[in-house]
């Protein structure tokens, strides 16, 4: 399965962002992608403002749905939708025009919470192209329990659209890469991370990892790039067969987590 993490610039206005995302998806399809993932909040300059407050959700759905039909592929991203008195940041996956997964972000960040975004309460994978996929929206990847819950439900690859703050003094880049390899190892699954960028504000940091290491990594955190990687599920099955530690899981010993 060829996947593509779309690293693109965040900007204004909303319509221009959607048009640019459509162009990037066209290019991903031309590169042979079976699955294309857009960054979190690809339709807005920053979370909590403009379209990120729930306006334009139908247009975001339409973009992903139409691109999945036009190219006969799986297209994923996120959308902000009304949820009771607040909003939900929802990771969405379309397969050839059909919405197969709508996963609310479980761990909204402070800026989102201030804008009324509330966290989801469950994690469930879905089937695309005969494979089980899970969605971890941005900060959800930071919590090992989230990837493990999806792994226990059979997820074979995880999609992670992100909006990652940039800091002038940042010595944690390699640690973040290691974190993504660790999540892939823990879940015994591939992880596809797509990040957008806004120079000196948000860094792209797009990445694709497997339980055995990094498959692809963005060349520059502040340049647009289509990050392609071929996911070898035969190799993944072999890894899972040889990795015999996980059947010894002891949930009763983990009470301290809850």
pLDDT tens column, 57-97: 999 999 999 999 999 999 999 999 998 889 999 999 999 99
| Within a domain: 231 | yes
**Contacts (Cβ under 8 Å, ≥6 apart) of 10:** 17, 39, 41, 42, 44, 45, 46, 163, 196, 197, 198, 202
Least confident of 19-23, 170-174, 250-254: 170-174
* Cα–Cα distance for residue pair 78/93, rounded to 1 Å: 8
Q: Which residues pair with 93 in a beta bridge?
A: 76, 101
Percent of the chain with pLDDT over 70: 92
Residue in 53, 107, 61, 108 with CA at minimum distance from that of residue 82: 53
Q: Supply 213's token pair.
A: 């290491």
| Within a domain: 137 | yes
Least confident of 41-50, 131-140, 198-207: 41-50
Q: Supply 126's token pair.
A: 């879905």
| Within a domain: 67 | yes
| Within a domain: 210 | yes
Angle (CA) 135-29-226 rounded to 5° is 70
Domain with residue 168: its CATH number is 3.60.110.10
Give the pLDDT confidence score for residue 250 in this predicted structure: 82
| Within a domain: 257 | no
User: How does strand 98-104 pair with strand 86-95?
Assistant: antiparallel
* Cα–Cα distance for residue pair 77/61, rounded to 1 Å: 9
Range of the domain at 130: 2-247
* pLDDT mean over 31-54: 81
Quote the number of domains for the chain.
Answer: 1
Residue 53 has pLDDT above 80, yes or no: no
Residue 51 has pLDDT above 80, yes or no: no
Q: How far from the centroid of its chain's Cα atoms is residue 226's Cα?
A: 14
| Within a domain: 256 | no
| Within a domain: 31 | yes
Residue 247 has pLDDT above 80, yes or no: no
Average per-residue pLDDT for the chain: 91
Q: Which residue bears the tokens 């993944």?
A: 236
């Amino acid at each position: 399965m060829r996947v593509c993490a779309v690293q693109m610039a965040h900007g204004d206005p909303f319509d221009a962002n959607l048009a640019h995302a459509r162009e990037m998806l066209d290019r991903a399809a031309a590169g042979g992608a079976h699955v294309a993932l857009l960054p979190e909040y690809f339709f807005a300059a920053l979370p909590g403002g403009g379209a990120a407050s729930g306006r334009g959700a139908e247009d975001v759905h339409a973009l992903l749905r139409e691109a999945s039909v036009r190219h006969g592929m799986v297209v994923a991203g996120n959308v902000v939708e009304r949820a009771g008195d607040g909003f939900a940041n929802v990771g969405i996956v379309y397969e050839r025009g059909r919405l197969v997964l709508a996963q609310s972000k479980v761990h909204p960040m402070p800026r989102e919470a201030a804008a009324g975004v509330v966290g989801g309460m469950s994690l469930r994978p879905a089937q695309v192209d005969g494979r089980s996929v899970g969605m971890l929206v941005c900060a959800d990847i930071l919590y090992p329990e989230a990837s493990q819950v999806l792994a226990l439900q059979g997820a074979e690859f995880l999609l992670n659209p992100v909006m990652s703050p940039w800091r002038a003094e940042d010595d944690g880049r390699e640690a973040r890469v290691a974190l993504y390899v660790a999540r892939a190892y823990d879940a015994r699954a591939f992880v596809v991370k797509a990040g957008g960028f806004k120079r000196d504000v948000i860094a792209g940091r797009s990445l694709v990892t497997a339980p055995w290491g990094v498959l692809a990594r963005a060349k520059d955190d502040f340049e647009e790039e289509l990050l392609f990687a071929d996911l070898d599920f035969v190799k993944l099955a072999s890894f899972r067969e040889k990795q015999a530690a996980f059947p010894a899981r002891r949930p009763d010993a983990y009470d301290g987590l809850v």
